[in-house]
Structure 1
Amino acid sequence: MRLTRAALLASTALAFVPAALAQPSLAPHRAVYDIFLDEASDRSGITAIKGRMVYEFNGSACEGYTVNFRFVTRIDTADASRLTDQQTSTYEDADGKTFNFVTKAYVDQALDREVKGHATRQADAIVVEIDKPQENTVELEPTQFPTQHLAELIGKARAGETFYETSLFDGSEDADRIMTTTVIIGREEMPDVGDEELQVAKAIEPQAFWPVSIAYFDLSEGEEIPDYRIDFKLHENGITRDLVMDYGDFSMTGKLVDLSVFEQPKGCPN
């Protein structure tokens, strides 16, 4: 399951943004989401999902950007129950030229997989130096990293665009491929009185948001059907909420239950 990538992108920045678009000011913050099963087909075998996702974003245009992310879920089937724990830390430099990543995945508290590496954006390629699970070097087509991807999305939403296609590298799975994304952006809205996350969302400024839907395709496998899709409410400062992560055979919801917005970094020194 590609839970890590979908959750990271749903809850995840500057550089590689088209010059015509103003760069967004992304809020350093820590967001906590409660995770529940939304729907599941008989083929999935899943009877229940419950968990928690914690996403912490820090940094600035001077220092670069860090993400610390943890996603714990208990997945029940008719025959068994499994506890998964995915922990990811990344650093993306402010110019969007380098990206460090490490992901550890645990199943029932035992380490199942670790992926660690470093990616560099060059003029005509992304070069990925993989340290774990085994040393390897991969050269991929030019693309962008996750915070760049988010900045591009906010820029296009500001400009009134409603649909576009792009790609990214985020170091998930085996860190050996890029994902193509198609993005649909709805009209900017304000929360209504029935918004379940309204009490927590009041800490977000501005409160206005765009409804966004992103489908992720692995074109290296020739797939024309998305691997998964995420829907969410995106605020201009980069905070996301009201998540739906759809994997085809099943989907999960993520509701924002706690939010800490940190002080914005000071301006860059001369």
Structure 2
Amino acid sequence: MRLRSLLAATIAPVAALAGAFALAGPAPAQQPAPAAAPGAVQAAVLPGSEEMVAHRGAYRLSFDKSRDSSDISRAEGVMLFEVLDACDGWASRQRLTMRLQDRDGQTIETASDYATWESKDGRRLRFSMTQMTGGAVSNRITGEAVLQADGSGVANYDQPGARQEALPPGTLLPMAHTIRAIAAARGGQRILNVPLMDGTSEDGAQESTTVVSPWKREADAQPRFPLLGGQESGRMRIAFFGKDNSGGGASSPDYEVGLRYYANGVADELNMDFGEFSVNGKLETLEAVPGGC
């Protein structure tokens, strides 16, 4: 497969994998909700939300491996991620740039700018994603998803065209998935199968399977960053399946991401598998971001 053909198949997973560990976030045009007035009644929040931390991090992406049949010989890039506590919601933005090289030495750059806002009750998501290839916009997805108490709901898309997708019962939004996955790891659960709605696909929710490794209950004695001090952690791998490739059985995922989650929602030690090739992501910088009500 030549490089430009491969990009057509992998550019969406590039953005989706960038969002796989997102806490949540707002469309760039949306402003965080104003802080509540003193004494105001706060909306319900998901249990575990209070442990999530607003932060800003930069990841260095390096080539891991490619399949023997793949045309990709090299891949590298950077990913910038920030999540803000917007009082009644989590606002985040992820910007990812990758440079790919084929076996003939041809190179091309692909990028994505992905942003969301997710209410702290896990019921509403605004999303915006712009994908670029060679500096030109190749795709844009914007819209909003609303869930009922049982996780069913609808995703209303504005771009690339006005349309509505039904969301099945049990659907989770990105922050809710992060909280549920960490809770599963702490509770000794090994598998988490849920539909995940993150706004990176035009088809609504994607089936996901998260394989959870045993939770590390002792914190690192000498963490690389102060924000990780005293934090337990656990490794997991999340596989995503399209509508025509539902999870379970012998089905192969459309793409996968492996990562190490800390108890406060920070992710490190990424491995992003696009099928044809995979890259590793190392957390290079990390800082806390003030916010909240």
Q: Name the TM tier (shorter chain).
A: 0.7 to 0.9
**Structure 2 partner of 1:67:** 92
TM-superposed deviation, 1:9? 1.4
Q: Does 1:120 align with 2:146?
A: yes
Q: SS of the residue aligned with 1:144?
A: coil
Contact 1:35 1:255 in 2 (8 A): yes
1:109 matched to 2:168? The reply is no
Residue of structure 2 in register with 1:87 after alignment: 113
Other-structure match for 1:244: 271
Match of 1:5 in 2: 16
CA displacement at 1:52 relative to structure 2 = 0.3
- Counterpart of 1:160 in 2: which secondary structure? coil
Matches within 5 A, 1:3-42: 3-12=14-23, 23-42=49-68
Secondary structure of the corresponding residue to residue 221 of structure 1: coil
Alpha carbons of structure 1 residues 226 and 152: separation in structure 2 relative to 1, 3 Å: same
Residue by residue over 1:16-74, the C-alpha shift from the partner in whole angstroms, topping out at 9 and shown as x without a partner, is 85xxx7555110000100001101123221111110001111125x4211110100000
Matched, 1:217 2:241: yes
Amino acid paired to 2:96: F
- 1:181/1:219 CA distance change after superposition, 3 Å: farther
**Shift, 1:238, TM fit:** 0.1
SS of residue paired to 1:186:
coil
Query: Matched residue of 2:75: which SS?
Result: strand
Q: Which of 181, 188, 195 lines up with 1:167 in the alignment? A: 195
The answer for the alignment partner of 1:230 in structure 2 is 257
CA RMSD of aligned residues (A): 2.4
Q: Deviations over 1:153-198 (max 9, x none)?
A: 12222223233322211111224342222332323054477xxxx5
Quote the Cα distance in structure 1 between the aligned partners of 2:49 and 2:145: 23
CA–CA separation in structure 2 for the residues paired with 1:96 and 1:12: 11
Q: TM-score, normalised by structure 2?
A: 0.79
Cα distance in 1 for partners of 2:265, 2:76 equals: 25
Equivalent residue for 1:54, pick from 80, 86, 90: 80
Q: Is the 8 A contact 1:165 1:181 kept in 2?
A: yes
In structure 2, the gaps of 5 or more residues are 1-9, 25-42
> What's the offset of the Cα at 1:11?
4.8
* Paired residue type of 2:98: T
Identity over aligned pairs, percent: 26
Specify the SS of the correspondent of 1:150: helix
Deviation at 1:262, TM superposition (A): 1.9
* Inter-partner Cα distance in structure 1 for 2:22 and 2:142: 21
Which secondary structure does the structure 1 equivalent of 2:131 belong to?
Answer: strand
Contact 2:206 2:240 in 1 (8 A): no
Q: Indicate the residue corresponding to 1:77 in structure 2.
A: 102
SS in 1 for 2:21: helix
Q: What displacement does 1:121 show? A: 0.8
Distance 1:172 1:108, change over 3 A: same
In 1, distance between residues paired with 2:282 and 2:63? 12
- Contact kept? 1:180, 1:219, Cα under 8 Å: no
2:163 corresponds, among 108, 112, 136, to 136
Partner of 2:143, secondary structure, is strand
**Is the CA contact 1:47–1:76 (under 8 Å) kept in the aligned structure 2?**
yes
What is the CA distance between 1:3 and its match in structure 2? 1.3
How has the CA–CA distance of structure 1 residues 191 and 44 changed in structure 2, closer, same or farther, with 3 Å as cutoff?
farther
TM-score after normalising by structure 1: 0.86
Question: Unaligned 5+ residue runs, structure 1?
Answer: none
User: 2: CA distance between counterparts of 1:22 and 1:65?
Assistant: 13
Is contact 1:68-1:89 (8 Å) kept?
yes
User: More displaced, 240-249 or 96-105?
Assistant: 240-249
1:203, distance to aligned residue in structure 2 (A): 3.4
**AA matched with 1:228:** Y
For 1:96 and 1:22, locate their aligned partners in 2 and report how far apart those are by CA, in whole Å: 11
Q: What's the offset of the Cα at 1:98?
A: 1.2
Aligned residues: 257
